[in-house]
Amino acid sequence: MTPFVFQSNIPRTVFGAGSLAQLERELDLLGARRALVLSTPEQRATADGIAERLGKRCAGVFDRAVMHVPIETARAARETATRLDADCAVAVGGGSTTGLGKAIALESSLPILAIPTTYAGSEMTPIWGITEGGVKRTGRDARVLPRTVIYDPGLTSSLPTALSVTSAINAIAHAAEGLYAQDADPIHSLLAEEGIRAIAAALPRVIANPADLDARGDCLYGAWLCGAVLGAVGMSLHHKLCHTLGGSFNLPHAETHTIVLPHALSYNSAAAPQAMARIARALGAHAAPTGAYDLAKTLGAPIALRDVGMPESGLDRAAELATTNAYWNPRPLERGAIRELLQRAWEGRRPD
Ligand code: NAD
């Protein structure tokens, strides 16, 4: 048995169809009286529904969450929370909205109650990100970890099928890298394998019938587990590549994760055989890299970076950035091999 250190920081979780009905009780438990509801502009109607059910306990709605939390938006949200005398943020949405809640909490320690509507997993992590002058800074801080998370699969049934696939594979990527993390531990590895298994089994059912609440629930359950892994153990090459491609080339978050994952797994395959066997088993596939590729392709997700706006002329720079200040990785990073990985991902080739 490999030596390990285990620590859990999984927030209080309320899970199940209809669990949004527990919102008031959960706010009571937090001692919150004036909740500021956060959302993207696209999910304003969902936020208004929550504001309506909270009645006087709603301090207001701030609907300007966008990807990567620009500092200007963070400042505006912080000012709104102070002006309205909010004592809690209710973040309803995906990683962008949770991220905005975290930006407020980072400064004020305002407690966050998150209601995720994608599979990205940010609600389970103490990781924040804020973009200033085109550069995204990230960090870990216990103040930004939501205190309570309500997972209601009914809120995910409106997630478009394309985003459902890529968001769910984004979740799988957290678990896959968690299985070969330097600080992996047996409990989070169990969560990781079960998370991948649940998503891989449920995702085709979601795509066949996006209103299938059982399938949606299974996917969200998997996303919860995968998010818990992301929050607990270190990430490696795959997340570094996606961070680089998203931050420096403005590529879409979930799609980039979906495209890169098979190639990052292929790169690490020989260096992490036990993790790869667990990923493959959870995917129900012969091998982890091809299993991840086939899952994405079969469900109609993009499989080539060239199809999501990556210029081929940027691949050299991406390889250079990804190997600078690199995260720990089971296989040492070799610039030439990373460049080749990116070429394959750009073309959308199936891993060997
Ligand atoms: P997102 O939050 O940006 O949402 C994408 C779009 O889908 C938005 O327009 C949103 O309003 C819409 N949407 C979300 N749920 C919906 C639903 N159920 N029905 C209809 N529309 C819906 O996407 P995301 O992939 O969840 O989050 C990406 C962001 O989160 C990135 O900035 C990423 O860096 C961050 N992130 C952070 C962490 C962390 O631990 N800090 C983890 C994962 C992702």
Indicate whether residue 73 lines ligand 1 (CB < 6 A).
Answer: no
The model carries a pTM of 0.98
Tens-place pLDDT, residues 34-91: 999 999 999 999 999 999 999 999 999 999 999 999 999 999 999 999 999 999 999 9
Tens-place pLDDT, residues 232-262: 999 999 999 999 999 889 999 999 999 999 9
What is the end-to-end Cα distance of the chain in Å, rounded?
31
Q: What is the Cα–Cα distance from 202 to 165, expressed in whole angstroms?
A: 11
Q: What is the Cα–Cα distance from 78 to 82, expressed in whole angstroms?
A: 6
Indicate whether residue 88 lines ligand 1 (CB < 6 A).
Answer: no
Location of structure tokens 């919102």? 23
- Tell me the residue type at 253: H
Q: Report the residue among 144, 174, 253 best suited for mutation to probe ligand 1: largest number of ligand atoms under 8 A from its CB.
A: 253
Residues 6+ positions from 154 with CB-CB distance below 8 Å = 17, 18, 20, 213, 216
Angle at 269 between CA 266 and CA 272, to 5 degrees: 150
Tens-place pLDDT, residues 173-186: 999 999 999 999 99
Residues 6+ positions from 328 with CB-CB distance below 8 Å = 182, 234, 236
* Ligand 1 atom nearest residue 116's Cα: 15
Number of residues that this document lists for the chain:
352
What mean pLDDT is reported for the chain?
A: 97
**Cα separations in angstroms, 223 against 58, 171, 188, 210, 219:** 28, 6, 13, 16, 6
Q: Examine the pLDDT at 352 and tell me if it is beyond 90.
A: no
